[in-house]
Chains A and B, each alone.
Chain A
Amino acid sequence: MTTADSHNGRRLTARGAKTRARIVAAATDLMYIKGVGATTLDEVLAASGVSKSQLYHHFDGKDALVRAVIDHVGERVIEREREALGHVSTIRGLRRWRDALVQNNALRHGAYGCALGSLATEVSDHDALARQALSQLFTEWQGLLAGVLRRLQDSGALPPEASTDQLATGLMAALQGGYMLAQTARDVTPMATSIDMALAHIESLSER
């Protein structure tokens, strides 16, 4: 059985796919905890237990590996968010979504931030392909939030003239900025405050 390698188009055997997945999983963990810039290929080799030739068989270098990590993390985050937001149609549902994110981040005292947002702060400068992939992922995530806001509009909980795309982007920025403040403070409180303030504004629009 073979599967396609999304980056070089080569067909992979089941064993090759497993090796590739092991490299990406190790790189994902290292880059999440240490940051993209501070993670070396030697560390990825050590953590995944694969040989240098195996790594270079799957990836041309660090940039290619970073792009694979973005795809991997993106898929995971979008799947989680689709499940969490796909059927939300009330402010209360949005608050439950907020509670889950804050609670999960609190387990680690906010130390590592959003898996996707952390990648965005580090790779946006030097790799246009990585930047575009991240931009598409965030657009997809914001689309899920905009969907919730449109359902709020349909039920009359949000006025029809409110710009759902703009509010969804503002809410995403509050979430991502909140993650970053929590990461620096090693305390989840600023993240909770930031999302709460953004949600309070959205809720207030229906009261006018």
Chain B
Amino acid sequence: MRTHFAEVLARESVCLAGVTDGAKLAGWRRRVVEELMTPRSPYALAMRLTGDVPDRADFLDRWRELIAETVDRLLRSGTTGDTHFSSGQSRRADVDAQKTAVLILAALHGGSTLSQISKDPWPLNAALDLALAPFAAAEGNCPIDNMNP
């Protein structure tokens, strides 16, 4: 189990460090969805609630930190779905990087569980659409922010 954790963290630290705008965030998201939907990939295995609890807690803390750093970087650079907000500036100031990272990690976890039982990536994408709503360009199921096309 430890090796899956280490492998995911190694890949995530490289991939998330390269996320500097909405398009790159969308690329990260597509890759993670693909990994999570691949049975027995390191990502799918790392999401299971098996193995040593302290190891898993450490893994999740470190992944959440990597996501939070990325969210913070995107917020500082102004990468938000501003066009969909009536007041982009105040909206951006409202986004809390740490809490957004918790939601993104929960969406990856909960979304992949729902997707695995339905054998359909749609729930995972719906989860990420909601979690990544402050960065509307990274959407998957719908072009814009949970709205019907």
Asked whether, in the complex, the Cβ of B39 is within 8 Å of the Cβ of A173, the reply is: no
Asked whether, in the complex, the Cβ of B109 is within 8 Å of the Cβ of A181, the reply is: yes
Asked whether, in the complex, the Cβ of B102 is within 8 Å of the Cβ of A197, the reply is: yes
Knowing A138-B117, A166-B142, say if A198 contacts B103 (CB, 8 Å): yes
Asked whether, in the complex, the Cβ of A170 is within 8 Å of the Cβ of B113, the reply is: no
Asked whether, in the complex, the Cβ of B113 is within 8 Å of the Cβ of A176, the reply is: yes
Say which residue of A170, A180, A186 sits within 8 Å of B129 (CB atoms): A170
Q: Determine, out of B10-18, B19-27, B53-61, B72-80, the stretch whose residues face the partner at the interface.
A: B53-61
Q: Which residue of A lies closest to B118 (CB)?
A: A135
Binary contact track A137-175/B, C-beta < 8 Å → 1, others 0: 011000000000000000000010111001101111111
Asked whether, in the complex, the Cβ of B142 is within 8 Å of the Cβ of A194, the reply is: no
Asked whether, in the complex, the Cβ of A181 is within 8 Å of the Cβ of B102, the reply is: yes
Asked whether, in the complex, the Cβ of A167 is within 8 Å of the Cβ of B146, the reply is: yes
Knowing A117-B113, A120-B117, A181-B102, say if A163 contacts B130 (CB, 8 Å): no
Cβ of B84 within 8 Å of any chain A Cβ, yes or no, is yes
Asked whether, in the complex, the Cβ of B39 is within 8 Å of the Cβ of A121, the reply is: no
Asked whether, in the complex, the Cβ of A198 is within 8 Å of the Cβ of B147, the reply is: no
Q: How far is the CA of A176 from the CA of B109 in the complex (A)?
A: 8
Shortest A119–chain B CB gap in Å is 9
Asked whether, in the complex, the Cβ of A162 is within 8 Å of the Cβ of B108, the reply is: no
- For B70, the chain A residues whose CB sits under 8 A away are none
Q: Number of contact residues on A: which range applies?
A: 35 or more
Asked whether, in the complex, the Cβ of A169 is within 8 Å of the Cβ of B126, the reply is: yes
Cβ of A208 within 8 Å of any chain B Cβ, yes or no, is yes
Cβ of B3 within 8 Å of any chain A Cβ, yes or no, is no
- For A174, the chain B residues whose CB sits under 8 A away are 103, 106-107, 110, 127, 130-131
Asked whether, in the complex, the Cβ of A122 is within 8 Å of the Cβ of B142, the reply is: no
Q: Which residue of A lies closest to B85 (CB)?
A: A208
Q: How far is the CA of A90 from the CA of B5 in the complex (A)?
A: 41
- For A177, the chain B residues whose CB sits under 8 A away are 105-111, 113, 127
- For A185, the chain B residues whose CB sits under 8 A away are 57, 60
Shortest B25–chain A CB gap in Å is 17
Cβ of B2 within 8 Å of any chain A Cβ, yes or no, is no
Asked whether, in the complex, the Cβ of A175 is within 8 Å of the Cβ of B100, the reply is: no
Say which residue of B53, B57, B84, B114 sits within 8 Å of A173 (CB atoms): B114
Asked whether, in the complex, the Cβ of A121 is within 8 Å of the Cβ of B114, the reply is: no
Q: How far is the CA of A18 from the CA of B72 in the complex (A)?
A: 57
Shortest B88–chain A CB gap in Å is 11
Taking A166-B130, A173-B111, A185-B60 as given, write out 15 further A-B residue pairs in contact, using a Cβ cutoff of 8 Å, ordered by the A residue number: A113-B49, A120-B116, A131-B116, A131-B119, A134-B117, A135-B117, A162-B148, A169-B122, A170-B107, A170-B146, A172-B110, A172-B123, A173-B110, A175-B110, A190-B106
26 A/B residue pairs, CB under 8 Å, sorted by A: A37-B50, A113-B49, A117-B110, A121-B47, A124-B116, A124-B117, A138-B114, A166-B146, A167-B126, A169-B122, A170-B126, A170-B130, A170-B146, A174-B106, A174-B110, A177-B105, A177-B106, A177-B108, A177-B127, A180-B49, A181-B60, A184-B49, A184-B56, A186-B57, A196-B99, A205-B146
